[in-house]
Copies of this chain bind each other. A is one copy, B any other.
Amino acid sequence: MRLKIMARLDLDNSDLPASDIDPGPLKLEVVQGGDMAHRLICGDNLLGLRALAKSEVRAHLAYLDPPFFTQRLHQRVERNRNRKTGRIERTETPAFDDRWPSLDHYLLTLAERIRATRDLLTNDGSMIIHVDPATSHYVKVLCDEIFGPEAFANEIIWRYRRWPAKTPNFQKMHDVLLRYRRDPKVKPRFVQLYEPLAASTRATWGDRKQVADIDEQGHRRRSLKTAEPSPGAPLGDVWELSVIAPVAKERTGYPTQKPEKLLRRLIESCSYEGDLILDPFAGSGTTMAVAAKLGRRSIGIDASDEAIDVASARLRAANVELRCERVVSSSAKNDAHSRRSS
Binding site for B on A (CB under 8 A): 1-13, 15-16, 87, 104, 107-108, 111-112, 133-134, 136-138, 140-142, 144, 152-157, 159, 161, 164, 168-174, 179, 187-188, 190, 192, 198, 200-201, 219, 233-238, 242, 269
Contacts of A136 in B (CB 8 A): 137, 155
> In the complex the two chains form, is B6's CB within 8 Å of A1's CB?
no
B-side contacts of A104, CB under 8 Å: 2-5
Q: Are A164 and B11 in contact (CB under 8 A)?
A: no
A173–B238 contact, CB under 8 A?
yes
Say yes or no: A169 contacts B142, CB within 8 Å: no
Name the CB-closest residue of B to A165. B234
CB nearest to A188 among chain B residues: B168
B238 near A159 with CB under 8 A, answer yes
- Which of A187, A201, A235 is most buried by chain B, counting CB atoms within 10 A of its CB? A235
Most B CB within 10 A of own CB, among A4, A7, A111, A141: A4
- Closest B residue to A138 using CB positions: B5
B3 pairs with A7, CB closer than 8 A: yes
- List of B residues within 8 angstroms of A236 by Cβ: 159, 161, 170-174
Q: Copy number in this complex?
A: 2
| Chain B residues, CB < 8 A from A140 | 137
User: Which residues of chain B are near A159, meaning CB under 8 Å?
Assistant: 157, 159, 236, 238
* Docked pose: A173 CA to B173 CA in angstroms: 17
A sample of 13 inter-chain contacts (CB < 8 A) reads: A1-B13, A1-B112, A2-B10, A4-B7, A5-B5, A5-B104, A133-B155, A157-B174, A161-B201, A169-B190, A172-B236, A174-B238, A238-B238
Complexed CA–CA distance, A137 and B129 (Å):
15
Cβ of A7: which chain B residues have Cβ within 8 Å of it? 3-5
**Chain B residue, CB-CB nearest to A270:** B170
Cα–Cα, bound, A10→B2 (Å): 5
- Measured between beta carbons, the chain B residues less than 8 angstroms from A161 are 198, 201, 233, 236
**In angstroms, how far is the closest chain B Cβ from the Cβ of A132?**
10
A194 to chain B: closest residue by CB: B164
Which residue of chain B has the shortest Cβ distance to A111 in the bound complex?
B3
Known: A236-B173, A238-B159. A9 touches B5 (CB 8 A): no
Docked Cα-Cα span, A155 to B158, in Å, equals 13
Known: A156-B170, A172-B236. 11 other contacts (CB 8 A): A1-B9, A1-B16, A2-B9, A2-B108, A3-B9, A5-B5, A5-B142, A153-B170, A154-B169, A157-B157, A159-B159
Contacts of A137 in B (CB 8 A): 136-138, 140-141, 144
Tell me which residues across on chain B come within 8 A of A238, comparing CB atoms.
Answer: 157, 159, 173-174, 238
Q: Could you tell me the distance between the alpha carbons of A7 and B155 in the complex, rounded to whole angstroms? A: 22
With beta carbons under 8 angstroms apart, the residue of B4, B5, B10, B192 that contacts A168 is B192
